[in-house]
Amino acid sequence: MTDFLPKNEITISKEFEKRGYLVKDITDIESLTKIRKIFINSIKKNISIKANSTQDLDILNFIHKNIKSNKLNNFRLKIINEVNKNKELRRLYYNVARSYLDILIGNELSMQLRINLSIQLPNDKSSLLPLHSDVWSGDSPFEIVVWLPLVDCYKTKAMYILPPPKYEKMKKMFLDKKSASSEKIFKKIKKDLQWIKVKHGQVLLFNQCLPHGNIVNKESETRWSLNCRFKGVFTPYRDKKIGEFFEPVTLRTISKLAIKYRLPKIK
């Protein structure tokens, strides 16, 4: 196959293919700061913050001092519904990953209509996402997940992914009915999983075809992470359709003209 991509783009693409993900510093820090502030304002609106948590990162990292686990899901849903009403949120989110999305997908993108939020309190078992691949439940393999931490994520405060070379080994387990459950597969491949460290100020882009998930957060801080899917406008859609789940956000002029074009009728 002929490849006219610049060397730096080829390097980044090969890194993604080999590892199944990229962790990169965000160049548009202003957009990240605005995103964090949108969430902080929503948090302060919905719960009372103790006086010892005044800095934004302290509020996020130690939110478990202000809310109990049995109240967490309702709190999370309130935050999600409120922040997604902000008309600038999705544009800001796109901005923090734009340069890498252009390289990995292209510059005509469809974006998920809503930003998702994950909050994991320390030692809380109610916010777990077992081993899974998004394409197993109806997502298109043409999608990529942009995962944005609002705090430093490390060890059990982070997420894990199964590297591409190990995925072939795992696929054979699906043929064994005794190993068909997610929990059994997780135990068998646990040693192969890659835990992804992502600092606040960095963004993670990962291949959601690869199995991934999280476990109980054993660290002393709460995890806050956002996620949103992107795909090429003209790539195949599966269960999550354009107009229902996705929306074109960077459609180029020739594509707009082509969509509207109609051949002249011959009488």
Give the C-alpha distances (Å, rounded to integers) separating 103 from 16, 17, 109: 11, 12, 12
Average pLDDT of every residue of the chain: 93
* Angle, CA 227 vertex, CA 120 and CA 202 arms, to 5°: 90
Residue 213's beta-bridge partner residues? 160
Yes or no: say if 241 and 79 are a contact pair by the CB < 8 Å rule: no
What's the confidence (pLDDT) of residue 158? 98
Region 156-176: what's the mean pLDDT? 84
Residue 179 has pLDDT above 60, yes or no: no
What's the confidence (pLDDT) of residue 170? 79
What's the confidence (pLDDT) of residue 187? 86
Over the stretch 133-151, which tens digit does the pLDDT of each residue have? 999 888 999 999 999 999 9
Yes or no: say if 92 and 30 are a contact pair by the CB < 8 Å rule: no
Distance of CA 11 to the CA centre of its chain: 22
Over the stretch 113-137, which tens digit does the pLDDT of each residue have? 999 999 999 999 988 988 999 998 8
Least confident stretch, 44-48, 102-106, 127-131, 197-201? 127-131
How confident is residue 266, by pLDDT bands cut at 50, 70 and 90?
A: confident
Going by DSSP bridges, is the β-strand pair 144-149/202-206 parallel, antiparallel, or unpaired? Answer: antiparallel
Domains in the chain, ordered, with CATH? 8-231 (2.60.120.620)
What's the confidence (pLDDT) of residue 52? 63
What's the confidence (pLDDT) of residue 259? 95
What's the confidence (pLDDT) of residue 141? 97
Burial of residue 121 (CB within 10 Å: 0-12, 13-18, 19+) is buried
What is the pTM for the complete model shown? Answer: 0.94
Residue 9 has pLDDT above 90, yes or no: yes
